Amino acid sequence: MTLPFRPERRRVLLDEAFRLMPLALEDEAAGAQLAALSREYEAGLHRLEFARCPFTGWVQKHTFDPYGLDGLWWNLRAPARPLRERIPTCQAITGAVFIQPPVENFPFLARPGPGAPFVIPRLLEHPQVQAVLSTLACGRHQAFCIAYFAPDELDGVEWPNDWGANERWAEGGASYGGWTEAPDFEDEWDFDLAPWIQRGKLLWIAPGDRNLTLQNSLQGCPFLNLPGTRSMQYAQDGRVWTAADILAMNPEEDFS
């Protein structure tokens, strides 16, 4: 077993990876070196407790980079993380990050989600689905994890992409596993969490609760009416923007 990396080692890995990223497009040796760095980074990722299954009580652990958005875990097009991470009853994991500026400077595109926790009503409307909301630190930023649980695989439900990735790993029994791409519809996000908590469809875990006690009461819930961007945030090269920013952008401004 590889030990989780310390911040110093992570910094060394990322600095070297960022140096190699532009070279790796043309230089095969640099590409191989970058792949090796990425593997070491992935092996050293922290495995944190994201949620507890409301049906079985099992704890959903997941890799995460708790030191910031500049980790390769957040690389939208090539997220450095293991394939199979969800427990059998966990159907999807989405998330949000309240970004505390300035954002880190990294050369890849990251899509950490909106700035406040949200739910997807079409999923929670399904009688067998429940979601669990928890929070964890990501460097100076505050991350929110929303995990969707169902006791069995559900036919006809289109699950969202994995948090921070543009695809989701889907299992089809013992014989099939693969990446599938699902569209992220921002207009279906619901940031008003109170009704879902009242209906018992959304459970929450208090910040810092190591026992991961599932709570279903509005009283004391710290996740209600949080500030933060209500749109998908994109980040790269020290800048953060949303789709609205792109649409409003002066065409002469270089936003690449």
122 binds other proteins (CB under 8 A): no
Task: Provide the minimum distance between the beta carbon of 96 and other proteins in the complex, in angstroms, as a whole number.
Answer: 23
Element housing 151 (H / E): none
Q: Which is nearer to other proteins, 90 or 110 (CB)?
A: 90
Binding to other proteins (CB under 8 A): which residues in 92-121? none
Query: CA 14 from chain center: how many Å?
Result: 19
Residue labelled with tokens 């619901």:
190
3 binds other proteins (CB under 8 A): yes
Q: Which is nearer to other proteins, 3 or 25 (CB)?
A: 3
Q: Which is nearer to other proteins, 47 or 122 (CB)?
A: 47
Site track 176-215 with other proteins (rule: CB under 8 A), x = hit: --------------------------------x-xx----
Task: Mark residue 72 as left, alpha or beta (left: phi above 0; alpha: psi -120 to 50; beta: remaining).
Answer: alpha
- For residues 24 and 11, give the distance between their C-alpha atoms in angstroms, rounded to a whole number: 19
Task: Provide the minimum distance between the beta carbon of 23 and other proteins in the complex, in angstroms, as a whole number.
Answer: 31
Element housing 219 (H / E): none
1 binds other proteins (CB under 8 A): yes
Among 11, 46, 140, 230, binds other proteins (CB under 8 A): 46
Q: Which is nearer to other proteins, 6 or 199 (CB)?
A: 6
- For residues 137 and 241, give the distance between their C-alpha atoms in angstroms, rounded to a whole number: 21
- For residues 150 and 54, give the distance between their C-alpha atoms in angstroms, rounded to a whole number: 9
Kindly provide the b/e burial profile for residues 74-98, where b requires at least 16 CB atoms within 10 angstroms of the residue's own CB: bbbeebbbeeebbbebbbbbbbbbb
Task: Provide the minimum distance between the beta carbon of 207 and other proteins in the complex, in angstroms, as a whole number.
Answer: 12
Residues that bind other proteins (CB under 8 A): 1, 3-4, 6, 46-48, 59, 208, 210-211
